[in-house]
Structure 1
C-alpha cells in the first residue's frame, strides 16, 4: 500500500506539479508570483508547516535548561491557535497561487522536527516534480548562526528546487 496522496481531480494530469512552501512571508509571496510567471507547471500544492502551540511552549520553556512542565494537551487540533493561524496563512497562499494561474490544493503539515524535513517529506508524499520556495538569503555571520532551510532542502530533497531570492530593496 502506498502512502502517496491521490492527485486532486482538478489538477491537469498532463501538467507538472509543484510544491510551493508558503509561510506568509514576503519571500514566500514572491516565490508564488515568480512560479506563476516563469513555470509551465500549473498544478500546485501550497504547503504550510505548523507546530502545535503546546509544543512551541514546551520548546520555549526548555531553552533555559530548566525542567519542563508537561505541556501536552488533548485539545482538538482545530482549536489550536497555531493551527488556526497556519490555516489562514495557507488560505492566503492558495488565493495567491490561483491568481498566478495555478490549479491549487492546500496542504497543511504538523511538524515537530526541522521545517526543511517537513517540506522534503511532503514533496515525497505528494510526488511533486519541483519544490518552489523563497529565501531570506542570509549572509555573513547571520548565515553561520542560522541554518538555511533552502540549503537543507537542496541537499536532501533529491528533486529540483526553485529558490526565489528576496526582492532588492530598490524594488
Structure 2
C-alpha cells in the first residue's frame, strides 16, 4: 500500500471497556492519523418492543419519539462524542458518525462501512463463549463475515480471577 494514500479507519465505539481498548490499540499499533468513530444506536421503542416480545407479554403501544427526544439517541450521541474525545487525546483526527440500528448492531456497522468505505474496521470483542454464546451473537464475528474488508479485532483483557 502506498504511503501517499491516507488509510481510512472506521472504529466501532459503544463506550464499553472493550471498545475503548480497541481504539487505544488501533492508535498504537496501526498508527492512523484520521479515524471515523461510529456509534450505532437503537431507538428506545424498538428496545422495549424486543424486550416485551421475548417475555411473551402483550406489547404496549410505544410511540416513536423524535431522535433528539429519544433517550437512546441522546446516550448514543454522548457515547460517540466520548469516542471522538478519546481519539483526539491519542493524537488522532476524528470524525463522529451515528447510525440507527434497524436490526442488529453488526449490520449497522457493515452498512456504515459500505457508505464510508474505510480500509479497515476496528472493533473490540467481549469474547463470549460457552452457553452464553448460544443466546448472544458476536458482533465482531458478524462484522468479520459480512463486511468484505479487513477487520482489526481487539480481545478483552483477561480476567485475573479466572
Shift of 1:49: 0.6
1:47 counterpart SS class: strand
Shift of 1:58: 1.6
TM-score with structure 2 setting the length: 0.90
**2:60 pairs with 1:38:** no
**Cα offsets for 1:148-167 (capped at 9, x unmatched):** 11111111100000000101
Q: List gaps (5 residues or longer) in structure 1.
A: 1-12
1:108 counterpart SS class: strand
**Cα offsets for 1:62-86 (capped at 9, x unmatched):** 223344233132x321111111111
In the TM superposition, what are the counterparts of 1:89-108 in structure 2 within 5 Å?
Answer: 89-108=79-98
1:166 counterpart SS class: coil
Match of 1:18 in 2: 9
In the TM superposition, what are the counterparts of 1:63-142 in structure 2 within 5 Å?
Answer: 63-73=54-64, 75-142=65-132
Match of 2:43 in 1: 52
**2:161 pairs with 1:145:** no
**Cα offsets for 1:99-125 (capped at 9, x unmatched):** 122211000111121111000000110
RMSD: 1.5
Q: Give the stretch that moved more between structures: 116-125 or 52-61.
A: 52-61
Q: List gaps (5 residues or longer) in structure 2.
A: none
Shift of 1:145: 2.9
Q: How many residues align?
A: 157
Shift of 1:87: 0.7
1:163 counterpart SS class: strand
Match of 1:6 in 2: none
Distance 1:80 1:144 in 2: 31
